Amino acid sequence: MTQPLKPVIVGAGPAGIRAAQILVAHGLRPIVIDESARWGGQIYRQAPSNFARSSKQLYGFDASKANSVLSAMDSLLSKVDYRPNTLVWNAEGGQLDVLHEGNTSAVDYTDLIVATGATDRILPFKGWTLPGVFSMGGAQVALKFQGCAIGQKVVFAGSGPLLYLVAYQYAKAGANVMAVLDSSHFSQQIKAVPSLLNQAAVFAKGVYYLAWLKAHGIAIHHGATPTEVMGAQSVEKLIWRNSQGAHEIDCDAVATGYGLRSESQLADILGCKFVFSNADNSWIPQKDVAGRSTVQHVYLAGDGAGIQGADAAEWAGELAGLALIEDRQIQQQKNHSTRTEELAKYLQKRIAFGRGLSIAFQDPKNWACQTTDDTVICRCEEITAGDIRQSAQSTGAQDVNRLKAMCRVGMGRCQGRMCGPAAAALLADCTQQSIEKVGRLRGQAPIKPIPFVQSPTLKNMSSDTKVAT
Amino acid sequence: MHQNTALIQQGQLVRLVELNRKKLTIYINGVATEALEGDTLLTVILTHQKFIRQTEFSGSERAGFCLMGACQDCWVLTEDGSRLRSCSTLVQANMKLVTPKANP
């Protein structure tokens, strides 16, 4: 090792911060690149600096965890090269292309920890592009980051732990929660209890939110699926169904999401191998227990490589940092191997909890075949379920990338972040294949839109010399 | 220059907390609009009106969706033509924004 290491961490959420902490503890000075203005990721997202709410008000039961992660990063600021407001939009040959305040530059790395997090997993319903429909995480961001509710009369429709958490946060903040529509059946949730007790504290919080909502008279419906949002120019009512039939709720906003999906575009561009994860019902970048990807010196940590939640992200970040130290034969600290084993054990235990969650929170039954032809699936390109079905039939597309080439689903600005899971489910249904078989939309540079003048032709003209010195 | 005709109605977002912040003025389609320091552009726009832009294809209204920089559905323009993702851009006094309209 004659050349000094240039470790780079992408993402400053719980995984990225814990990874940075380990590298610093071993004498390294990583570059920490984050798209947000302030660290914390989505889960521990910080409000703008002039906001006044306490961390208890912002993060509730998770305030002490949030404080721990946020203050860890605070104390690292002088020991890392922290680059907020910076988007990694491409990676090639030991170099990341980044965009910061409209300028693109290159960042060299020898070792890379990818901790890119997740966004909501969306299953569209008719009318979901109307103003007033937001993702579940988006509804939470509005409140946590901006102090706003997404509307005067809000319905929460979806599944997953966020459903009850965000509904609770809204009601507690004084918003008018019209109903919580959970696609899962209550009996399923009872069945999942033994596995969920594996993370008893997390489970207890979920039970608390549900009980609180019920105690405050908020309608909670299980086995309930949103079928159509109606309104002239914005949300006016939501139609939903359950085994008893169709129902209508007067509302002006809907938050929706069915769990989370990994932000895996960067891992894809880096050439990491992907595997199908039954727990995520999706393809995710492959990693070993410690977070090593299939590409040497590239590590994966947190929800960007399979959804495991914030606690697991902290463990995985720390573990990836320790793996990097091990792989580069840097002097290990005394407790290195015991800590490594301990973290691996925590993560192993979290897998059983994840299985419980996937029993407790299920997608709407037969979502794909119940979705009407006139439902927009790809909101960027305005491609409907009917377009997808017709394209699959007329072209014989068996794979989502082929489907994308044929009908533009997933080809828009978001690169299939919003429509990817839905497009895969529809194609699987049309072609009588599994979700695994239809594959995944491949990530492409730029990972997110960049200004036209910053196109790759300029990239070699502005290589960032600050990094090299 | 632009008329905020259909846009003049109550906002989509409702401010619940954090109301004691410094007030700023920005211009949306030429109309002076009140903002609070720390607001994103999306918050400013959607506390005054129901939508942010119209799509290029169908012309239907959009108000953003994910609020975390992933869906790319909340882009607005500055008067000099650069594009800003409104959910992840904090407001600055006297900004002049144009909400994208469908092609005529």
Q: Report the distance separating Cα A316 and Cα A199, nearest Å.
A: 16
Q: Which pLDDT belongs to residue B4? A: 43
Give yes or no for a contact between A324 and A334, defined as CB atoms under 8 angstroms apart. Answer: no
A with B: how many residue pairs have Cβ under 8 Å apart? 144
Contact A131 B58 (CB under 8 A): no
Contact present, B93 and B26 (Cβ < 8 Å): yes
The half-sphere exposure of B90 on its side-chain side, counting CA atoms within 13 A, is: 14
Residue type, A432: Q
Comparing CB atoms, the residue among B16, B61, B73 nearest residue A174 is: B16
Mean pLDDT on A443-457: 75
Residue A259 token pair: 């769990």
Whether a cis peptide bond, with omega within 30° of 0, leads into A446 is yes
pLDDT in tens, A48-96: 999 999 999 999 999 999 999 999 999 999 999 999 999 999 999 999 9
Q: What is the pLDDT of residues A316-370, one digit of tens each?
A: 999 999 999 999 999 999 999 999 999 999 999 998 898 899 899 999 989 999 9
Cβ distance of A381 and B20 shorter than 8 Å: no
Q: Does the beta-carbon distance from B58 to A382 stay under 8 Å?
A: yes
Q: Can you tell me which residue has the tokens 């109550």? A: B10
- Give residue A452's pLDDT: 65
- Percentage above 90 pLDDT, chain A: 90
d(CA A23, CA A320): 10
Whether the pLDDT of residue A127 is over 80: the answer is yes
Q: In this model, does residue A1 exceed pLDDT 90?
A: no
Supply the mean pLDDT for chain A: 94
Q: Which of residues 387-426 of A touch B (CB under 8 A)?
A: 412-414, 417-418
DSSP character string of A167-178: HHHHHHTT-EEE
Which of B4, B8, B10, B13 is most worth mutating to test chain A (most A CB atoms within 10 A of its CB)? B13
- The answer, for A266 touching chain B at a CB cutoff of 8 Å, is no
B41-60, pLDDT tens digit by residue? 999 999 999 999 999 889 99
Query: Residue A298: pLDDT above 70?
Result: yes
Residues 276-315 of A with CB under 8 A from B: none
The model's confidence at residue B10, banded by pLDDT at 50, 70 and 90, is confident
Of the two residues B104 and A26, the one the predictor is more confident about is: A26
Query: Sorting pLDDT into bands at 50, 70 and 90, what band is B95?
Result: very high
Assigned token pair, A206: 């979920």
| Predicted local distance difference test score (pLDDT) of residue A263 | 98
Sorting pLDDT into bands at 50, 70 and 90, what band is A297? very high
Is the ipTM, as predicted for this complex, more than 0.90?
yes
Query: Averaged over A170-198, what is the pLDDT?
Result: 94
Poorest-confidence range of A26-30, A147-151, A422-426, A457-461? A457-461
Of B14, B21, B50, the CB nearest to A131: B50
Model pTM score: 0.94
- Do residues A376 and A124 lie in contact, with contact meaning Cβ atoms separated by under 8 Å? yes
Which of these, A416, A421, A423, A426, lies nearest to A366 by C-alpha position?
A426
Q: How confident is the model at residue A468 (pLDDT cuts 50, 70, 90)?
A: very low
More reliable by pLDDT, A102 or A183 = A183
pLDDT confidence band for B7 (50 / 70 / 90): very low
Task: Return all residues near A234 (Cβ < 8 A) that are at least 6 apart.
Answer: A130, A131, A132, A252, B12, B50, B51, B61, B63
Q: Which of A289, A266, A395 is nearest to A350 (CA)?
A: A289
Predicted local confidence at residue A50, as pLDDT = 96
Q: Does A34 touch chain B (CB under 8 A)?
A: no
**Banded pLDDT at B104 (limits 50, 70, 90):** low
Triad A367, A368, A373: Cα angle to 5°:
115
- The per-residue pLDDT for range B57-85, each reduced to its tens digit, is 899 999 999 999 999 999 999 999 889 99
Residue with tokens 């010196």: A297
The minimal CB distance from B71 to the residues A152, A233, A414 is found for A414
Residue among B91, B10, B38 at smallest CA distance from A152: B10
pLDDT at A456 over 70: no
B68, B77, B103, best to mutate vs chain A, most A CBs in 10 Å: B68
Q: If residue A367 lies in a helix (H) or strand (E), which one and from where to where? A: helix A367-370
**What φ, ψ does residue A230 adopt, rounded to 5°?**
-120, 150
Nearest CA-CA partner of A36 in A11, A59, A55, A71: A11
Could you report the per-residue pLDDT of A379-418, keeping only the tens digit for each?
999 999 999 999 999 999 999 999 999 999 999 999 999 9
Tokens of A342: 């301990």
